[in-house]
Amino acid sequence: MRMGEFSRRTGVSQRLLRYYEEQGLLRPARRPSGYREYEEPDVVTVRGIRMLLAAGLNTATIAELLPCMVDEDRILEPACSSMLPDLHRERARIDESATALLAARDRLDALIELTAESGVTDEEACAAVAGGPKRKDHSGMSGPR
């Protein structure tokens, strides 16, 4: 099938399909005219790519893992335990990111609470608290400096 139909079948834009190809994740056959020709196994591969992306993996890691996956009833599944170190590494990376995001959210919550407790709602009063009267900046917009 050609790219347009393949895009419709997978729900993935043609631009993203070309990106997957550039990243070595997808290798469609080429017609003599240069058009890409996709097969049914490519549909399964794209589903697997989407699943791994949704799991938080980047395309470089997916490129490493795809050769270790097999088509089991139209779904890509791991075929070898050699994937485990990569999967554990990616899980640790996601844990670190989640921890950093939660810490940022906690800091934002504290800032929201402190702001609400200040009781200052007047823009001029906020400018005074922030360091003085509002001034014009170089763009002509007013605001504290």
Whole-model pTM? 0.64
- The CATH architecture that domain 1-79 belongs to is Orthogonal Bundle (1.10)
Segments making up each domain of the chain, as ranges: 1-79, 81-134
Q: What single-letter DSSP state applies at residue 71?
A: E
- Three-point CA angle 123, 124, 127, nearest 5°: 90
State the pLDDT at residue 18.
Answer: 96
62: Cβ–Cβ under 8 A, 6 or more apart, which residues?
23, 25, 49, 52, 53
User: pLDDT 10s per residue in the chain (145 long)?
Assistant: 999 999 999 999 999 999 999 999 999 999 999 899 999 889 989 988 998 899 888 999 899 888 887 777 666 677 778 888 888 988 999 999 999 999 999 999 999 998 888 777 777 666 776 665 555 555 555 555 4
Largest CA distance in the chain: 72
Could you tell me the two tokens for 144?
Answer: 């504290």
Residue 70: what pLDDT?
77
The strand ranges marked E within the chain are 29-30, 36-37, 69-72, 75-78, 135-136, 142-143
pLDDT at 42: 92
